[in-house]
A = this chain, B = another copy of it.
Amino acid sequence: MKELHVGIVGATGMVGQEFIKILDQRHFPVASIHLFASDKSAGKSVTVRQQKLTVQETSEDSFKGLDLVFFSAGTDVSKHFAPFAARAGAVVVDNSAAFRMDPDTPLVVPEINPEDCEHHHGIIANPNCSTIQMVVVLYPLHKVNPIKRVIVDTYQSVSGTGLPAVEELKSTSRAVLDGKPAEPHVYPHQIAFNMLPEIDVFMENGYTKEEWKMVTETRKIMHAPDIAISATCVRVPSLIGHSEAVHVEFTRPMSPGEARRILTEAPGVKVQDEPTAHVYPMPWTAAGQDDTFVGRIREDASHPNGLAMWICADNVRKGAALNGLQIAEAMMERGWL
């Protein structure tokens, strides 16, 4: 099998680190690995496959000879450097929001629309974490019974913000337990034992960008521009793993049993749905797993064509690094990389 020269921009971040781990776990055919980060992290040493690699500062000339570059260093870094990587001949898988809604950039969840990768212009966008885990579950149902409307409320872990936020949740939780003040630095308010209905910045229409990503990205990935979607995205005090309460309206009624049958066969999805035995998805148990977990599947009591459900996934893995690597795998399988 062809071995690839792989670059990782944002190699010292939470998603970059997870990407390195998953490269190994999935035996991805790597010829060489090149780690990039900001000047702050350049010079750091990172162990990859028992080998110590030095992190280099990302520059416009970093990408010569690379086949695949995974970007996870924020929107500004991607906007500036990803085109250089693409021009150098690499396929970029970009975890930021920079190119997701660009009509020329495929936005891909490999279980759903891998064929969208074919007509890329050097950059493939990795969707937002909260979108990925929702569409992986909704798409197999949508294929059978087209979805008309989705209402989703999220319970998103601090790992979605990054390592400093994980540290902040831990330190402020300890402070609260010790009866000490829990000053926030990463978040605008205390996250320990609290809920913040603010993820990403607010838009004119009162939604956050995070919420709006769930609207626009879902439509683009599923090729379903007419689905009506509303979301409330909430940061909650969990470490890893996002949860979502989802209410779906289909074109026709769908029984919970039918949905469970479809989802049992769906790629990347695991049904955990024996509620009376306390079996349902939870962020704590989804953490570290590749699958997206769905349970609490029941008729939506407010609509004859509705189902309600509860979805959890590891936002750092399937919500980011794993989905990115699966994009590369899907392209290799098809000879596009």
Which A residues fall within an 8 A CB radius of B?
Answer: 149-151, 153, 155, 169-170, 173-174, 177, 188-190, 193-198, 202, 205-208, 215, 228-230, 232, 234, 236-239, 243, 245, 247, 256, 275-276, 278, 280-284, 295-303, 306, 308, 310, 312
Contact = CB atoms under 8 A, between A and B. Distances in A.
A180 to B, nearest CB: 14
Contacts of A256: 206
| Copies of this chain present | 2
B297 A206 contact: yes
Nearest to A215: B301
B302 A195 contact: no
Nearest to A298: B206
A306 B202 CA distance: 19
Given A189-B282, A282-B189, A301-B207, A308 B173 contact: no
A275 B195 contact: no
Given A195-B238, A206-B298, A237-B238, 12 more contacts: A151-B151, A153-B245, A174-B174, A177-B177, A189-B284, A193-B237, A193-B284, A205-B298, A205-B301, A232-B310, A234-B245, A236-B236
Nearest to A196: B282
B296 A232 contact: yes
A121 to B, nearest CB: 30
A247 B207 CA distance: 13
Contacts of A245: 153, 197, 232, 234, 245
A267 B16 CA distance: 50
A234 B281 CA distance: 12
Contact of A238 (B193, B207, B312): B193
B155 A275 contact: no
12 contacts: A149-B303, A151-B302, A174-B174, A177-B177, A189-B278, A195-B243, A195-B283, A197-B245, A208-B275, A230-B308, A234-B310, A236-B237
B206 A236 contact: no
A236 B195 contact: yes
A278 B202 CA distance: 10
Contacts of A150: 302
Contacts of A206: 256, 275, 296-299
Interface centre among A149, A298, A299, A303 (most CB of B within 10 A): A298
A65 B115 CA distance: 78
A21 B193 CA distance: 24
Given A206-B256, A206-B296, A206-B297, A310 B247 contact: no
Nearest to A149: B302
A232 B246 CA distance: 9
B275 A202 contact: yes
A282 to B, nearest CB: 6
